[in-house]
Each structure stands twice: as C-alpha cells, then as structure tokens.
Amino acid sequence: MSVLVYTESEGGKFKKAAFEVASYAKEVANMLGTTVTAVSVNGGDSSELGTYGVDKVLEVKGDKLSTFSAKAYADVIKQAAEKEGAKVVVVSSTADSKFLAPLLAVNLNAGYASNVVALPESASPFKVKRTAFTNKAFNVTEMSTDVKIIGLSNNAFGLKENSGAASSEAFEPSLSDEDFEVQVTAVDKATDKVSIADADIVVSGGRGLKGPENWGMIEDLAGVLGAATACSKPVSDMGWRPHSEHVGQTGKPVATNLYIAIGVSGAIQHLAGINASKVKVVINNDPEAPFFKAADYGIVGDAFEVVPKLIEKLKEFKSNNA
Amino acid sequence: MKILVCISHVPDTTSKINFTDGDTKFDTNGVQFVINPNDEFGLTRAMWFKEKQGASVDVVNVGGPETEPTLRKALAIGADNAIRVNTEATDGFYVAKQLAKVVQDGGYDLVIGGRESIDYNGGMVPGMVAALTGANFVNTCIGLEVDGDTVTAVREIDGGKETSTTKLPLIVGGQKGLVEESDLRIPNMRGIMMARKKPLTVVEPIDADHETKAVQFEKPAPKGQVKLVSPDNVQELIDLLHNEAKAI
C-alpha cells in the first residue's frame, strides 16, 4: 500500500532530484496514512534517503543495469510497485525518468500526470496540479485509475528533511532480453559543467551578446555562481551555442532558483520556458525589452560593461561569504 | 519503410493562453493552430527518409474536424496520406490507445511523435504507443539513422547526449535536433494544391477508458513590478539577491 518513489542516481550517488521526489512522496504518504518505499538501481547510500522520509529502500544492483535502459528500468519499478502494492508512484522530471514513465504507466495500467508542481489537492478524487501550455498556465488533473504515477517538476517542491531512518533490502526483479533491445553505445556528457537540469542557477545569453566570441563572460559569470549556461532560441538557431543550451518553449524548460538573462529580449516563447524559475534577473540595454515585465530584478545597461563588474563584485562576495 | 508521423494540433507558440467556462476549457478564440513544433521536426526528418531512402510517410491526428487544416498542412509539406481518429484528444493514455490501433492496422516500421505537445506537455503519448504495440522506444530523440532494420538513435540526456542502437519497429519521441530549424519547410503552392487531392481518411475511435482529465485551469499569478538597479551599482543587485531573494 506504500507510496513508491523511484530515486535516481548517477555514478553511485543519488541525484538531488531523488531527494526531492523522496520529500514529496513522504508528504503524499502522510496524506494517505501510509509509508514510503524507494526503489534504487545501483544507487547511493540508502540511509541518505531516510533523511528525506523514506522508510524502506529496495536496492537493485547489477552490471546489467549499469547503463540506462528505459524499458528495463520501467520493468524494475513496475515489479517494485507490485511487490509493495503501491497505489501512487512518484518519479522526477529528469530526462531518464520522463523516458521511462510512459512505459511504466502502460505496464501498471496507471494514469500518469507529468510536470506536477504541488501536493495532491485531494486524495479522493485524486487531483494534482501541473503546468500546461509550457508554463503559461496550470491545470488540475483528476486521475481515475487505481494506480497513479506522478512526475514531479524539478525544484517545484524542494527538499524536506525528516528524522526517520530507512531500512534497506536487496531486490532482484526478473528481467528479459526484450528489456535491453535499445542498447546504449556511447554517452557524451560534459562532466566538468553543471547541466541545466541539475543547476540551482542558470546564466543565459541572447542575441544582445552579438556573437559567440563574447560568451567568455557568460561562462565566467556561471563559473563564479556554480551555474549552468543557457541561451535563447535565435542564438542556438544561428549556431552560436549548442541546441542543448536552448531554453524556451521548443527547447528546454528551466525551473531553477535563479535565472539570469543577459541580452535576452524575452520573447513569449522564451519566457514560457523559464517561467517556473523562482527569481529572474535581466540585464539588457533596451528598457522596453519584454523581459523586464517578467523579471524580479533588472539592470538597464550595456552587458559588456555590467557583466564584468558583476563578476568582479560576485568574486568579492563569494570570498567574503565562503 | 513505412513511417507514421503523429501530429498534434496546438496553439501557435506566440498565443496568449486564456480559459472559458469557469476556467474549465481552453479559449480557442483568436488562436492560430499549428503542427506541434516537436512533431514538425519529426515530420521533416520523415520527409528526408522519403526522399533519400524511399520511405512512405503517413500522418495521423487524434481530434475533431477542426484539426483537418493542420493535417492538410502536413500533406502539403509532403506526407502521402493522412488519418484522423475522430474523437477529442483529452487524455494522453486514451490518445495513445487510439494511435496504437492505427500503428498496428497500418503495419508501420517507424512512428515519430513529438517529445511533448506544447499545449498539455504530457510527454507520454509516444512512449505509451511503444509499450502498447511492443515496439522499441527512444525519447527526446535528436538524431536518427535507419539502415535496413537497424537504427542508430541519439537522445538528449541531462547535460549531454547518448547514442544507442536498436531495431525497427521503433517509436520515437522527437524534438529539435532531428532536423535543424532551417530545414523546416514552408508548404509551397504546388504542395498546397496537391494536398487537397491527397487522401484524408477519418476513422472512428476504439472504446478505451479515459485515465486522466484536466478539470480546471488557472493562469500564473500576475508578476510584481521589476526592481531596477543602476548599472553603476551592481553591488546592490548582489545584496538584493542575497538578502531579499535569498537566491545566492
């Protein structure tokens, strides 16, 4: 009957998103008067999950699952859900979780609500609030299936510590060859950079920066803040920056704690993509740029003068607050 | 190779979003509808397979008669046949079950949908169709090559990309990267004329449960006034972000 949560890990360590979905699952379990079971695949130290309210961890280990396979992972979670009799399954919004969730939904004949931003509004009928129209709106979705899958938006709920301790047990799901028919042959991932999905802070540049050769200061600013770098659609279309940095309606959604936009005018599609970020800052020399209507803080000024000063002052701030 | 491209009929990305009937329905008044951008990248890649590898390309939409102009546009871009499943697309699982039937009846080798539609952003239909039909599945696909029945697919992952190999039949959740923005095609007059004569078949839906339902909509709370800081005093911005916003 417990709430099942899939706690994702990378390189044997739980991701921040894993702790967030665990925190969320704990509160859902409280609402439903039950406990939280996590399922982890080659995951980290299970006691860490206890800190975020997990009561029991089903630990799946094995070389076969050392590279991600959506079908195999969905199969693992399905078998864990059945073992636990879970009626609610919580996953995150990482690329991998969004990949496996629809497969899991069919496996469990469960309704699936993605991009959920808050605790269920009611348990009966089961209603959750999610974003729609790429953050231009929210909708409340009623789920009528026996089993429900909730895909929680990154950074929507935050981390909530609990005093509990998690017990752990080995879990050995049965997997078939069919689970591995999509075989990963190469992973190309910059390990020295923060990804947009994992970042607390994102620094983004637009056409106002005039050319790819001027991205050094964006990288520097991101470096001081431990931030990920991003860009607007025209910048990626012109090939100044890779597609993977394009944020907005047809690019990546960004739901971060702090979003700093430099030389980005703020087209409606861009603003939709970053709307779920908590604090927004804009630096632009055009006071009429639409971004100023969407931002919390703004500087009307030349980015080429403002950003270097900001980097310098932030370095001082960081060394004083280290 | 038989390709099916799933087309969502969605509001243009510049649309202002409003609701009617006590915020229970999307207000279509004054809204221009287009092919879902993620689907359009897939359709354009399908055209490439048609032209370079001799594939046939059908398009399908689950929706009412009002979605037909969007299907005609896909035909004008170059698809051969269109299919419309005549029912309202309100729930991802329900739509996936309708599409799975079309996929099985048509014996398609490759089905390309969008990573998500830009209206409900469910991000579930392609994966569900794959699970329902037993086909392989690659999501957030940004590169796709087919040689015989062997597929090489590139997927966007958090902070990078991942290459995998698999076999047809395959379902893809596509996005920008499958083709470049500059590869997208605007239908020409000849294409539009030809599209009028191409078959658009309407099929009735199969019985299936609705698993989820959007019961209420709301818009984000209006934003407060931006706090402006002088470009000569960036320290003030740092202080505000630290003390007031608690963001650094």
Predicted confidence (pLDDT) per residue in B200-217, tens digit:
999 999 999 999 999 999
**B113, pLDDT greater than 80:** yes
- Amino acid (1-letter code) at residue A25: A
Nearest to B231 among A101, A184, A300 (CB): A300
User: What pTM value is reported for the model?
Assistant: 0.94
The sheet that has B160-167: what strands, in order across it?
A183-189, B160-167, B150-157, B136-147, B170-174, B110-114, B2-6, B56-62, B81-85, B200-203
pLDDT band for B178, please (50, 70, 90 cuts). very high
CA angle A165, A62, B155 (to 5 degrees): 100
Token pair in block for residue B109: 């080798």
User: Is residue B51 within 8 Å of B187, Cβ to Cβ?
Assistant: no
Q: Which of A20-34, A179-193, A252-266 has the lowest mean pLDDT?
A: A179-193
- Counted across chains A and B, CB pairs separated by less than 8 A come out at 266
Answer yes or no: do B155 and A144 touch at CB < 8 A: no
Predicted pLDDT at A194: 85
Answer yes or no: do B217 and A132 touch at CB < 8 A: yes
Nearest to A115 among B121, B156, B218 (CB): B121
**A197, pLDDT greater than 90:** no
SS3 content of chain A, % helix, strand, coil (to 5): 35, 25, 40
pLDDT band for A168, please (50, 70, 90 cuts). very high
Dihedral, CA of residue B141, residue B145, residue B149 and residue B153, to nearest 10: -30
CA angle B39, B41, B42 (to 5 degrees): 60
Dist CA B26 CA B40 (whole Å) = 23
User: Which DSSP category does A252 fall into?
Assistant: B
Nearest to B93 among A111, A249, A300 (CB): A111
% of chain B surpassing 90 pLDDT: 96
pLDDT band for B222, please (50, 70, 90 cuts). confident
Query: Can you say whether the dihedral through the CA atoms of B167, B172, B175, B178 is positive or negative?
Result: positive
**B223, pLDDT greater than 90:** no
- Residue A316 CB-density burial (10 A; 0-12 exposed, 13-18 middle, 19+ buried): exposed
Residue A319: other Cβ atoms inside 10 A:
8
Q: Does A141 touch chain B (CB under 8 A)?
A: yes
Answer yes or no: do B217 and A302 touch at CB < 8 A: no
Q: How far is CA B240 from CA A163, B40, B234, in A?
A: 33, 43, 10
Predicted pLDDT at A220: 97
Answer yes or no: do A296 and B212 touch at CB < 8 A: no
Answer yes or no: do A99 and B128 touch at CB < 8 A: no
Chain B residues with CB inside 8 Å of A281's CB?
237, 241
Closest CA to A259 of A297, A307, A308: A297
pLDDT band for A321, please (50, 70, 90 cuts). confident
**Mean pLDDT over residues A98-119, rounded?**
98
What residues contact residue B246 under an 8 Å CB cut-off, 6+ apart? none
User: Is residue A51 within 8 Å of A26, Cβ to Cβ?
Assistant: no
Helix H or strand E segment including A271: helix A268-274
Of A322 and B6, the structure prediction assigns the larger pLDDT to: B6
Predicted pLDDT at A45: 93
Answer yes or no: do A296 and B142 touch at CB < 8 A: no
The residues in A 163-222 lying below 8 A from B, measured between CB atoms, are 181-190, 193-198, 201
Nearest chain A residue to B15 by CA: give it. A268
Predicted pLDDT at A191: 74
Q: Give strand ranges (E) for chain A.
A: 3-6, 9-10, 13-14, 36-41, 56-60, 88-91, 111-116, 122-123, 126-132, 137-143, 148-152, 167-170, 183-189, 201-205, 228-231, 258-262, 279-284, 297-300
Answer yes or no: do A193 and B159 touch at CB < 8 A: yes
What's the full length of chain B, in residues? 248
Nearest chain A residue to B178 by CA: give it. A243
- Closest-CA distance, B197 to chain A, in angstroms, reads 32
Mean confidence (pLDDT) of chain B: 96
Q: Does A13 touch chain B (CB under 8 A)?
A: no
Nearest to B128 among A70, A102, A198 (CB): A102
Answer yes or no: do A138 and B220 touch at CB < 8 A: yes
Q: Does A66 touch chain B (CB under 8 A)?
A: no
Can you give the C-alpha Rg of chain A in angstroms? 21
pLDDT digits (tens, 9 = 90+) for A219-265: 999 999 999 999 999 999 999 999 889 999 888 889 999 999 999 99
Could you write out the DSSP letters of every residue in B39-56?
Answer: HHHHHHHHHHHHHHH--E
Mean confidence (pLDDT) of chain A: 95
Nearest chain B residue to A146 by CA: give it. B211
**Mean pLDDT over residues A73-91, rounded?**
98
Predicted pLDDT at A151: 98
**Mean pLDDT over residues A66-76, rounded?**
97
Answer yes or no: do A188 and B161 touch at CB < 8 A: yes
Nearest to B212 among A143, A244, A313 (CB): A143
Chain A residues with CB inside 8 Å of B177's CB?
243
User: Which DSSP category does A260 fall into?
Assistant: E
The ipTM value here is 0.96
